[in-house]
Structure 1
Amino acid sequence: MNRGATLSPAPRRTRGFVLVGLAIAGVAIIAYAVRRPLLMSAPRCLAGRWHGCYDTENGVLLMMLVGLPLAALVVWALARFRRAAGGTSAWRTSLAEVGMVYGTVPLVWLTMMPGPGAGIVSGRVSLVPLRDLVTMGPIGIGGNLLIFAALGFFAPMRFAALASVPRILALAAGCSVLVETAQYVLRLDRVSSVDDVLVNAAGAVLAGLASRRWWRTTAQVPRPEPLVHR
């Protein structure tokens, strides 16, 4: 009997539980650190009010945290469906798909929130590299690093075509350029800065490097049928 083949799934499951536990602990620490500003939006968010919840940074971040159990349920349902259909890497694929969407769309929504002069002032552009980094501050730089971090982390886990650093960089930079262009065209009273693109792309690359051991390097192929000896 091949004992190694029998025992190999156990370490993988253990690593998976450890990673999930670390992710939950990280979210809990972040939630505790920012609990006061988030709870300021809680009454309006729980009442279903748009103003004061979904049009504020605190409200959107709060709803992201509240929606984590639902996102986990979607991952579980997709993985169960794929496993029942005989697919391979069901959990990794499902987690990557939900993670890309859930970790990116709300943060992009934050960048598209209009300023007080939206629709009145004309769009502003800053094309000198590194000039705006000084004015961003630690919070601004950290936020920009996170905008496409989920995309950089999960995209190469889902798509073999994106499993390289240059491609992650190109994807994140392209998405960031689209966001900055939309801010300018829609006159959202925001500065469309080349530094935002640079920091967004850097955040995606760093996140991608963190998930490198789980990148999908080849397309999925059906499992070979076992040989039956007669």
Structure 2
Amino acid sequence: MNNSETLSAPPNRTLGIVLVGLAVLGVAGAVFTGRRMLMMSVPSCLGGHWNGCYDTENGVVLMTLVGLPLAAVVVWALAHRRRAAGVASAWRMSLAEVGMVYGTLPFLWMTLMPGAGAGVVPGRVSLVPLRDLVTMGSLGIGGNLLVFASLGFFAPMRFAALASAPRILALAGGCSVLIETAQYVLRLDRVSSIDDVLINAAGAALAALASRPWWRTAPNRLQTCAY
């Protein structure tokens, strides 16, 4: 048993390094591509103005990137405290907790941003699957895939009960339904679409499959409790 764990550790560690490297390259590429749009929000964000920063997608993305070092410090602090208490998998648990929260909240904020006709335009609903997909474009589809990607990636690493792609699919689908319902009830001048729900859930499931080597299984949970 110990031998097999020892043999399986290096491949998992190598895969982790590769995925982290790809994630860093992906973020760097996205920042480089959208640097001009992000720079438009710099004056408002640096000046502490709400308008032009937190009420725009560019501003939210910019502030999320700026806050990454602080998120890393929080991960380190949580992991250090857990290691001092003798908790197993301290780094994985801490990274998963911060990652699924910090990586999800900005997208939730953007999906609940009111449009120009908020409070005036009545709520709109689109319940025909795949009808809105053709009008989203690559940027819209990519954004919807990322809404619950962090939740799908990190939640199975933290909670053994969620270590299943179908469960993550159901969780993300339910959360997406709540968001679409809020958009309709609050009259945010947005279309509550079934396609958003489908793509949000699919993005979470795909992210969950990507983190499968680090899922928290029942034996690991028992080992953690023993400490």
Alpha-carbon distance in 2 for matches of 1:134, 1:115: 21
Does the 8 A contact of 2:160 with 2:216 survive in 1? yes
TM-score with structure 1 setting the length: 0.90
Determine the structure 2 residue equivalent to 1:228: none
Determine the structure 2 residue equivalent to 1:38: 38
Q: Which runs of 5+ in 1 are unaligned?
A: 226-230
Determine the structure 2 residue equivalent to 1:84: 84
Q: How far is the alpha carbon of 1:223 from its aligned partner? A: 7.7
Does the 8 A contact of 1:88 with 1:220 survive in 2? no
Residue 120 (structure 2) pairs with residue 120 (structure 1):
yes
Change (3 A) 1:13 1:138: closer
Change (3 A) 1:6 1:137: closer
Determine the structure 2 residue equivalent to 1:221: 223
Q: How far is the alpha carbon of 1:158 from its aligned partner? A: 0.5
Does the 8 A contact of 2:45 with 2:52 survive in 1? yes
Residue 96 (structure 2) pairs with residue 67 (structure 1):
no
Alpha-carbon distance in 2 for matches of 1:99, 1:70: 12
Does the 8 A contact of 1:173 with 1:200 survive in 2? yes
Letter in 2 for 1:221: Q
Letter in 2 for 1:42: V
Residue 48 (structure 2) pairs with residue 55 (structure 1):
no
Determine the structure 2 residue equivalent to 1:97: 97
Residue 173 (structure 2) pairs with residue 179 (structure 1):
no
Does the 8 A contact of 1:150 with 1:207 survive in 2? yes
Letter in 1 for 2:95: L
Pairs within 5 Å for 1:3-22: 19-22=19-22
Letter in 2 for 1:45: C
SS at match of 1:221: helix
Residue 201 (structure 2) pairs with residue 201 (structure 1):
yes
Determine the structure 2 residue equivalent to 1:189: 189
Alpha-carbon distance in 1 for matches of 2:107, 2:151: 11
* Same amino acid, percent of matched pairs: 74
Letter in 1 for 2:223: V
Letter in 2 for 1:180: E
- CA deviation digits over 1:81-131, x for unaligned, max 9? 000010010010000000000100000100000011100111100111111
- CA deviation digits over 1:147-171, x for unaligned, max 9? 0000000000000000011100110
Change (3 A) 1:224 1:106: closer
Flag the structure with larger Rg: 1
Change (3 A) 1:179 1:223: closer
Q: How far is the alpha carbon of 1:16 from its aligned partner? A: 5.1
Determine the structure 1 residue equivalent to 2:139: 139
Determine the structure 1 residue equivalent to 2:153: 153
Change (3 A) 1:56 1:12: same
Instruction: Say how many residue pairs are matched.
Output: 224
Change (3 A) 1:40 1:166: same
Root-mean-square deviation (CA), in Å? 2.4
Q: How far is the alpha carbon of 1:141 from its aligned partner? A: 0.6
Does the 8 A contact of 2:157 with 2:214 survive in 1? yes
- CA deviation digits over 1:197-228, x for unaligned, max 9? 00000000011111111101112434879xxx
Q: How far is the alpha carbon of 1:23 from its aligned partner? A: 2.9
Q: How far is the alpha carbon of 1:12 from its aligned partner? A: 6.8
